[in-house]
Amino acid sequence: MRVELDVFSGLPNPTWELALPDVTDIVAKIGSLPRADVRVAVPDLGYRGFLLSTSDDEIRVFRGYLIRNERGQTRTYRDTENIEERLATDARARGYGDVVRTSRFSQ
């Protein structure tokens, strides 16, 4: 699973691959998230969350929600498993701490 910290405009975003045990854990957590009946506005500039990509799926993790295109429909889930914080911790460990800290992640 590829992770992209979607934060830059005009520069390449930081990206990395998750190890298989992390992928397995995150996929299981995603499967347990409750649906949220909200529309999440993602800004055009600045922090836009994390994008999780596989060969046939893309999920945006943004400010407490997961946004996923499922069979042509956008569905939103509440991040009750703290996936966003886990990805932010992983980003910090990979040397992207300044980017995460200045991304206004906590808003």
Query: Binning pLDDT at 50, 70 and 90, where does residue 106 land?
Result: very low
Q: Is 62 left (phi over 0), alpha (psi -120 to 50) or beta?
A: beta
Look up the pTM and report it. 0.90
Kind of pairing, strands 2-5 and 73-78?
unpaired
Residue 11 has pLDDT above 60, yes or no: yes
Q: What pLDDT, on a 0 to 100 scale, did the predictor assign at position 103?
A: 59
Residue 107 has pLDDT above 70, yes or no: no
What pLDDT digit, counting tens, does each position of 29-87 carry? Answer: 999 999 999 999 998 888 999 999 988 889 999 999 999 987 788 999 999 999 999 99
Domain boundaries, given as residue ranges, for the chain: 2-101
